[in-house]
Amino acid sequence: MRIALNARILQAPRTGIGHYVAGLVNALRKEPDVDVSLFHGWGWSSALPEAAMPGYSRMTPLLRQIPGAYQARRWLEQKRFDHGRGRGIDLYHEPSLWPLAFDGPTVITLHDLTHLHFPQTQPPARLREIERRLTAGVQQASLILTDSQAIADEAQEYFGLPAQRLVVAPLGVAERFRPREPHEIESVLRAHAVEAREYFLCVGTLEPRKNLSLALQAHALLPDAVRQRFPLLIAGMAGWQREQFNEPLRQALASGHVCLLGYLPDEQLAQLLAGARALIFPSLYEGFGLPVLEAMASGTPVVITRSSAMPEVAGAAGNYIEADDAEGLRDAMNRLIDDSQHWQACREAGLRQAKLFSWERCARATAGAYRQAMGG
C-alpha cells in the first residue's frame, strides 16, 4: 500500500500531534506492506524532518492579516498534493483535522472533541475553522482513527457514526522516555538548579485547556519550606490566552518556588521527566494525554484529572484529582512527598501500565485501518 500522510505539522515545534506523526511514521516503516510518502505542504519526502524549535514561522501572524492568505495557501497545497496521484498513492491519511481533497480512500485521525466540551479554550478563529470543516472531514473519511476509546465513543455519539467506521489506535511512547541513572540526568538538573526527585513538573502549552493555573494554586498551598525544597517546573510554549497566567505566574515566579522553562528539546524534557517527583497534569480534557504515558514510562508518578481519556491511559497508576480542586491536588503532592511506599507503588504501577502502549501497536492498528479502508 502506498500511503500519502500529511506531515505538514512537523514544520512546527512538536507537541502532541507532531509527536504522534513522528512516532507513527517510524513504526509504520516496519509494516511490510506499507510504504509512506510524507506531504509537507509544498512537496513530498520520505524522510522525517528534524524537530523545529519555537520561532520556526515568524511570518505566520503577518500572513494572517492578509485577506484570503489562508485560502490561497490551502489552494496551493491542494495543487501540490494532487501531484501525489502521479506517485501511485493508494490511500490518504490526514493525521489532524480537515483533510485535503482526495479521490481515493481517506483515513483521518480524530484526536479529541475539545471544541464541543470546552469551546472557551479555543481561539475564536480556530473554533470557527473546526466547526466549518470538521463535519466535512468526517464525511470524507472512509475510516476514522482515534487515540482512545473515550474519543471513539464521543465521536460515534456526536456524529451518529456506526462503530465500524471507527478504529482505536492508542498512542505509543518513544524510547527516550525511560528510567534514568543519576549520572544521565545530572547536567540537566544542575542547569535548572534542582535535585533528583525534589521537584514537580508540569508539561503543556500555556493555554486554558491545560489548567496549569490549578497547579500554581495547589503548589502555593504547600508550606513554604516544602515549596522551597520541591519547586514546580513548567515546561511548554506560550499558547493562546497566555496572558491569563500573567498575574498568577508573576507571583509564583517572584516567590522563587516556580520556574517557567519554556519549550524544551526532546531529550532535555525526557531527562527532566525521569528525575521529577511527579508529573502534575491537571488538564481539563485530553484525547489521550501523551505526557502521562511518557512520565509513567520514565518511572515517574502522575497526578491527573479524571476527565476524558486520561484514566484510560493511566489506569490504576494514576493519582486522580478533580479539575477544580486545588486542595485535593495539594494533598496528592504532599502524599507523594511524605509517603515513600505510596510513591514507590505509583512508580512501579506506572512502569507496568506504560508497557501496554507502544508505537508498534499503534502502527499495527493503523495499518489494519488502511487495509480495511481499501477493502482488504
Q: What is the pLDDT of residues 253-305, one digit of tens each?
A: 667 789 999 989 999 999 999 999 999 999 999 999 999 999 999 999 999 99
What percent of the chain shows pLDDT beyond 70?
A: 89
User: What is the rounded average pLDDT for all residues in the chain?
Assistant: 89
- pLDDT, residue 19, reads 93
Of the candidates 269, 191, 256, 202, the residue with the CA atom closest to the CA atom of residue 229: 256
Within the chain, all domains assigned CATH 3.40.50.2000 are found at 2-172+358-373, 182-354
Residue that wins the pLDDT comparison between 147 and 257: 147
| Digit-coded pLDDT (tens) for 229-261 | 999 999 987 755 455 556 666 677 667 789 999
DSSP 3-state of 1: coil
Q: What are 69's three cell numbers?
A: 492568505
Of the candidates 286, 346, 374, the residue with the CA atom closest to the CA atom of residue 20: 286
Kindly give the pairing relationship between strand 44-45 and strand 35-39. Answer: antiparallel
The whole-model pTM stands at 0.91
Of the candidates 11, 27, 17, the residue with the CA atom closest to the CA atom of residue 362: 27
- pLDDT, residue 120, reads 73
Mean pLDDT in residue range 335-356: 98
- pLDDT, residue 254, reads 67
Mean pLDDT in residue range 313-332: 97
- pLDDT, residue 87, reads 75
- pLDDT, residue 65, reads 57
Least-confidence region, from 188-202, 246-260, 327-341: 246-260
Mean pLDDT in residue range 119-144: 82
Mean pLDDT in residue range 211-230: 95
pLDDT band at 59 (very low <50, low <70, confident <90, very high): very low
The residue behind cell 482515534 is 146
User: Are 322 and 306 spatial neighbours (Cβ–Cβ below 8 Å)?
Assistant: yes
The residue behind cell 525534589 is 198
Which CATH number applies to 182-354? 3.40.50.2000
- pLDDT, residue 58, reads 41
Mean pLDDT in residue range 313-329: 97
Q: How many CA atoms within 13 Å lie on the side-chain side of 39?
A: 25
Q: Report the C-alpha gap between 335 and 315 in whole angstroms.
A: 19
User: Are 237 and 262 spatial neighbours (Cβ–Cβ below 8 Å)?
Assistant: yes
- pLDDT, residue 247, reads 66
User: Are 366 and 169 spatial neighbours (Cβ–Cβ below 8 Å)?
Assistant: yes
DSSP 3-state percent helix, strand, coil across the chain (nearest 5): 50, 15, 35
Mean pLDDT in residue range 36-50: 86
The answer as to CATH 3.40.50.2000 being correct for domain 2-172+358-373 is yes
First to last CA, the chain: 11
